[in-house]
């Protein structure tokens, strides 16, 4: 039975019932109105082409070019303007949906209750509602209403929050510029000038200089050749160049998410840049479907199509962790997550996720804030599940339209409190930010001739930033007679950068390296700043330390020492210039991480701290000045000249400006000198506590090449670095059991021939007190200190990678039972940090090799005797006779041979070893 008939038998779904009853809420329309000025023109003549739609497009001053049905004046898109009559309509329908005209019922087309952008016949509305593509569907798992809002959305517009009143039903800002301009005009000149002064002071205090870095990428080369207006191509090429610079394109299995994707054009060229051959995933997020999409182009021409998924959803409602395409088991060939019986209720729990790279070109206003909140929430939720590295590998957003930001969406509310911006002032701030791109005012202020059209056309060509009209700017100019256009533009830029630096700090607080970069020049786009971020290398290092094998890595937390270090070395630093003096007082705060590590013979310092210190000074006019200096990032991967200093002066005013200038020019240089030697001092003090060890390389020693040898030569450390000074040490203790007699265990550790067999190297040892030994090509060495036959061995023992002249003391006591011998092992004096690798060396290269070479059998030499030739050669006697012959030859110095008996089969390795040593 078709869906269009099912409603005749079953109860109508809730959306259909509400639509028929007229109680359905107004539908969501995500269309931002254009505000281009319309020219008054005479209407064009009636179209002469046969069956052309007669609907006049006012904005374009032409008739719709679509074709109509035979006998109709309007196309399907504009058929609601058609008046159709029919004589076959039921009288009841005629009464409800039309007027009777001379016995005929007039059919009407009405807007669809689900989506007014299209129409339906009034007398067939019920059938249409069932098959309408705009019918509300059940919300997917990744939908949660307003989940990414920082604060609760104001329910009613207030006098101070007029921006809320300008929004549509979904929270989409409606950019009716006149109303927002009127909001500023409600301020008196004194109030407005005071607000401007606050913005300028906060900008000077918190916003550093941003670098300009314009890059290119070959993925856009072909497009630049065929398009007339290449400004968008230049922007996209620079963004892709930055993604390549930040290594966002290196992982061919990553998931690239374009927020505010529109047609998906940026993702299309990103697909070319990645050249993933179907292994990457592309997710396009936009709240409305777009025409002329690039989705099919992103699929690629390969046999295995790239996984491309478009999610039509508002970012404010998006839970990134619930998107199924982020799962690693959802691929180009497996496009739906496999459902397992044991996880049907929680199909997305504890599933490996793909690394995420988020990007957007000109993500307007509050959408940027919602995106940052969405990404950081995903980053935090995944970290809480497991100590894994951040799945958000990169963020790149070209910023724009700050006038569309909203206080309840802005993620860094703490920063707004720090700069003392109230919700009311936030609205004023966003409105003033539009002055930075209202270049049309140059026409009225600087020129009235044809030369002014270049700047006017620059912004007119870019609909993304058409935020003001000439009339509005004239009103602003009359309201601010003391500010010319250049001053208003500069103030607008300052408002934008204040909002942007708060976003940067928000990302930094959540574990990202974030920066703002001018990625194109102003001639290409007035909105030429991009926010770029990646997970901090410090966080990735910390994850590696927590999860990787500790064989080659030892670390020490030195944060408390660093606090004392900075308190001592950053106090009482002074500078003087032109009669003004300033001096640091005390360090009030040191937060972050400071670690010293060694990996494969290298000492590595990993630190990232924020420092706050107080200062006092005196201007050349004798004015006393106090305040604090914030250094937000002192890191191992940041050069001292890149350190940023934020100066906060108590009771700041223009008379205290010389102290601020002195700190930025002179005192900051002195602080940089002190900070530059921190890493060296950190290593000097704490380097001895993390053992310096050289690279572990395969050390090959002369060994026979036999097909029966199943274990390779041991990998042993080889040292090229030594340290001096005191070494912090620890003690290892454990118990080892071998199925052999105490005599045989004692002998296998001291008999040179047997030692060469299980070390598989030209090792040297002599079983007497005072003799020195050397195993594994000199990587293990020492001296025998005490011997009690079959009872005890005491040695001085060291690895070649240990600090020079440092030895540990190894004590081995043997306790024999009826079928095995237990070795009580104790090693004193192991350097801190080396205990794990030392224990592994004993287990892997001593005990395991002894068992592997001589087998899990008793090695009693006292049982070695001549076996009567008249003995019956039973299979067991043959094995026993063969083993005794092997040990007899080893005891006589003729060679060392091994025997595997775990499965009752003799291994030929011993014969090869015996032959090789006999040749020696």
Q: Answer whether 360's CB lies under 8 Å from 395's CB.
A: no
Q: Is the dihedral of CA 637, 641, 642, 644 positive or negative?
A: positive
> What's the rounded Cα separation, in Å, for the pair 863 and 880?
11
Which pLDDT belongs to residue 862? 34
E-assigned strand segments in 488-546: 512-518, 529-535
In angstroms, what CA-CA distances link 609 with 516, 561, 633, 669, 694? 20, 13, 6, 19, 29
Task: Fill in the DSSP letter of residue 694.
Answer: -
| Other Cβ atoms within 10 Å of 588 Cβ, number | 11
> What's the rounded Cα separation, in Å, for the pair 406 and 364?
11
SS (H, E, C) 269-297: HHHHHHCCCCCCEEEEEECCCCCCCCHHH
Task: Give which of 126, 127, 109 is closest to 118, Cα–Cα.
Answer: 109
Mean pLDDT by 10 residues, the chain (920 residues): 43 71 64 54 84 88 90 82 54 44 63 83 86 82 92 64 37 40 75 90 89 91 87 94 90 91 92 82 90 82 80 93 88 64 45 89 91 92 71 92 93 93 93 79 43 39 48 53 79 94 91 90 92 68 46 68 90 90 92 77 80 92 91 86 87 87 90 90 79 38 35 36 58 87 88 84 88 87 92 91 87 88 91 81 84 55 33 42 50 39 38 42
Q: Answer whether 3's CB lies under 8 Å from 127's CB.
A: no
Q: Answer whether 810's CB lies under 8 Å from 826's CB.
A: yes
- What's this model's pTM, rounded to 2 decimal places? 0.54
Tokens of 386: 């497991």
Dihedral angle of Cα 60, 63, 65, 71, to the nearest 10 degrees = 160
Task: Give which of 756, 682, 688 is closest to 722, Cα–Cα.
Answer: 688
């Amino acid at each position: 039975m078709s869906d269009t008939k099912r409603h005749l038998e079953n109860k109508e779904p809730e959306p259909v019932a509400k639509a028929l009853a007229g109680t359905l809420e107004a539908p969501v329309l995500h269309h931002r109105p254009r505000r281009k000025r319309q020219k008054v023109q005479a209407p064009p003549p009636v179209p002469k082409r046969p069956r052309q739609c007669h609907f006049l497009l006012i904005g374009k001053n032409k008739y719709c070019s679509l074709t109509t049905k035979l006998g109709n004046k309007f196309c399907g898109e504009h058929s609601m303007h058609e008046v159709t009559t029919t004589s076959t309509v039921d009288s009841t329908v005629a009464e409800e949906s039309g007027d009777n005209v001379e016995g005929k019922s007039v059919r009407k087309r009405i807007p669809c209750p689900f989506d007014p952008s299209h129409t339906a016949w009034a007398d067939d509305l019920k059938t249409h509602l069932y098959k309408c593509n705009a019918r509300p569907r059940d919300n997917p798992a990744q939908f949660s209403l307003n989940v990414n809002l920082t604060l609760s959305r104001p329910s009613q517009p207030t006098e101070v929050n007029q921006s809320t009143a300008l929004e549509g039903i979904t929270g989409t800002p409606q950019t009716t510029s006149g109303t927002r301009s009127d909001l500023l005009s409600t301020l008196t000149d004194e109030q407005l000038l005071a607000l401007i002064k606050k913005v300028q002071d906060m900008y000077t205090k918190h916003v550093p200089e941003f670098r300009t870095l314009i890059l290119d990428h070959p993925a856009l080369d072909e497009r630049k050749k065929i398009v007339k207006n290449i400004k968008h191509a230049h922007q996209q090429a620079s963004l892709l160049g930055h993604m390549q610079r930040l290594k966002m394109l290196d992982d061919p299995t990553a998931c690239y998410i374009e927020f505010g994707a529109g047609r998906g054009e940026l993702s299309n060229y990103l697909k070319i840049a990645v050249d993933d051959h179907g292994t990457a995933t592309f997710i396009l997020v936009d709240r409305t479907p777009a025409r002329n999409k690039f989705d099919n182009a992103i699929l690629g021409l390969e046999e295995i199509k790239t996984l491309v998924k478009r999610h039509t959803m508002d970012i404010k409602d998006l839970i990134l962790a619930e998107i199924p395409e982020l799962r690693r088991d959802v691929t180009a060939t497996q496009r739906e997550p496999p459902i397992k019986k044991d996880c049907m209720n929680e199909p997305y729990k504890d599933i490996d996720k793909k690394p995420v790279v988020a990007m957007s070109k000109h993500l307007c206003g509050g959408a940027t804030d919602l995106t940052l909140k969405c990404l950081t929430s995903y980053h935090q939720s995944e970290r809480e599940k497991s100590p894994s590295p951040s799945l958000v590998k990169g963020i790149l957003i070209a910023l724009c339209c700050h006038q569309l930001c909203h206080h309840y969406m802005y993620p860094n509310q703490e920063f707004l409190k720090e700069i003392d911006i109230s919700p009311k002032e936030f609205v004023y701030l966003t409105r003033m930010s539009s002055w930075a791109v209202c270049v049309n005012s140059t026409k009225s202020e600087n020129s009235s001739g044809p030369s002014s059209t270049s700047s006017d056309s620059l912004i007119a060509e870019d609909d993304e930033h058409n935020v003001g009209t000439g009339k509005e700017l004239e009103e602003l100019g009359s309201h601010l007679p003391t500010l010319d256009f250049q001053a208003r533009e500069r103030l607008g830029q300052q408002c934008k950068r204040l909002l942007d630096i708060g976003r940067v700090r928000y990302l930094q607080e959540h574990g990202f390296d974030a920066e703002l970069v001018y990625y194109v020049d102003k001639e290409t786009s007035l909105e030429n700043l991009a926010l770029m971020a990646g997970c901090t290398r410090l966080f990735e290092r910390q994850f590696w330390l927590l999860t990787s094998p500790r064989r080659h890595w030892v670390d020490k937390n030195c944060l408390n020492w660093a606090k004392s270090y900075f308190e001592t070395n950053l106090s009482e630093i002074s500078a003087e210039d032109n009669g003004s003096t300033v001096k640091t007082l005390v360090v009030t705060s040191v937060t972050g991480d400071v670690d010293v590590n060694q990996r494969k013979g290298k000492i590595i310092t990993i630190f990232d701290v924020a420092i706050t210190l107080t200062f006092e000074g005196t201007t050349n006019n004798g004015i006393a000045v106090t305040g604090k200096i914030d250094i937000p990032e002192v890191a191992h991967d940041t050069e001292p000249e890149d350190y940023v200093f934020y100066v906060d002066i108590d009771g700041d005013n223009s008379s205290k400006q010389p102290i601020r200038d002195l700190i930025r020019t002179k005192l900051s240089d002195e602080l940089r000198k002190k900070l530059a030697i921190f890493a060296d001092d950190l290593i000097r003090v704490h380097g001895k506590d993390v053992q310096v060890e050289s690279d572990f390389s395969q050390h090959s020693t002369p060994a026979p090449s036999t097909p029966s040898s199943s274990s390779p030569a041991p990998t042993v450390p080889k040292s090229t670095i030594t340290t001096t000074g005191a070494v912090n040490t620890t003690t290892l203790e454990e118990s080892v059991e071998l199925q052999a007699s105490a005599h045989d265990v004692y002998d296998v550790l001291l008999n040179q021939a047997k030692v060469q067999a299980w070390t598989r190297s030209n090792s040297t040892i002599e079983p007497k007190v005072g003799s020195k030994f050397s195993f594994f090509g000199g990587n293990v060495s020492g001296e025998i200190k005490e011997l009690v036959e079959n009872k005890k061995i005491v040695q001085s023992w060291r690895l070649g990678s240990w600090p020079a002249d440092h030895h540990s003391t190894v004590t081995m006591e043997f306790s024999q039972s009826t079928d095995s011998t237990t070795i009580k092992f104790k090693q004193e004096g192991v350097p801190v940090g080396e205990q794990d690798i030392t224990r592994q060396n004993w287990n892997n290269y001593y005990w395991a090799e002894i068992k592997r070479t001589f087998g899990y059998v008793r090695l009693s030499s006292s049982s070695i005797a001549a076996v009567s030739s008249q003995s019956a050669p039973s299979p067991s006697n043959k094995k026993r006779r063969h083993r005794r012959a092997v040990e007899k030859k080893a005891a006589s110095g003729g060679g060392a041979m091994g025997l595997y008996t775990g499965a009752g089969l003799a291994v030929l390795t011993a014969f090869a070893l015996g032959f090789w040593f006999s040749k020696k």
